Amino acid sequence: MTYNVQVGSGGYVGWKILERSMARQKEVFSQTVSEKSVKEYFTKNISGISSADELVGNYKLLTVTLRAFGLDADINNRFFIKKVLEADPNDETSLVNRLADKRYLKMNQEMKLSGSASSGTVDAAAIITKYDERSFEKNIGERYPEIELALNAQRELPSLASSETSDNAKWYQILGSKSLRQIFQVAYGLGSSFSALPIDRQLSEIKSKTEQFTGSDSAAQFESSTSVDSLVRRYLLRNQIQASSTASSHANALTLLRG
């Protein structure tokens, strides 16, 4: 049995529908036969994995692992994933620390298969929780990718914003995340050419736009759910404007954005 999460016709209206039914729909989705089978296999077998080679060699376990960290697209990049898992997370010069996308570092740390952490035990329940969240989002994203991106931002931004790093470092992490960058780029109307700018110019532009819209250029403000909700609303409405095929729907979205 499969279940498609219900979000109406997507967009901002679909987001509001999902907000009201999120808890119930998550419960239904997580209990489908296909989802339960995958999770039971992972929970039963992950404790027997002691090396990166073994993990990348087991398609079912690797699929759950990559989904848990939002790295589904790397399912066929097994040599790269093996190197990521084996890299020393405590060495600032290692591969996993040089990657701008910090999802790889999180996967490395939690799967505990590097030489410095191979004696640790994987928290299977924590991985399954992440897998559940991403699978729920992915189910929606297959039909309405804008809502998947919004859910990702709602989950990832507060954690990033509250991290003990400099404000610029937080912005660089946002710019290094394809999904978070997309949220800001669309919400602020930065245009497709934004990502082609030198990284320092991107930093300057995104901070300037943030101050224009919120009164502060600090990434730390997104620790607040209110700030994240405001950003997501602006993203969804601007995305709707871009995708609108009729003048009336364009006007309705623009009215909401100004409200």
For 38-66, write each residue's pLDDT tens digit: 999 999 999 999 999 999 999 999 999 99
* Integer Cα distance of 51 and 62 in angstroms: 12
Please indicate, yes or no, whether the overall pTM of this predicted structure exceeds 0.95: no
Give pLDDT tens digits for 80-94: 999 999 999 999 999
Helix H or strand E segment including 208: helix 199-214
Angle between helices 145-161 and 124-141 (to 10 degrees): 140
- CB-CB neighbours of 139 under 10 Å: 19
Tokens 């848990």 correspond to 68
The helix/strand/coil state of 216 is: coil
Mean pLDDT of the chain: 91
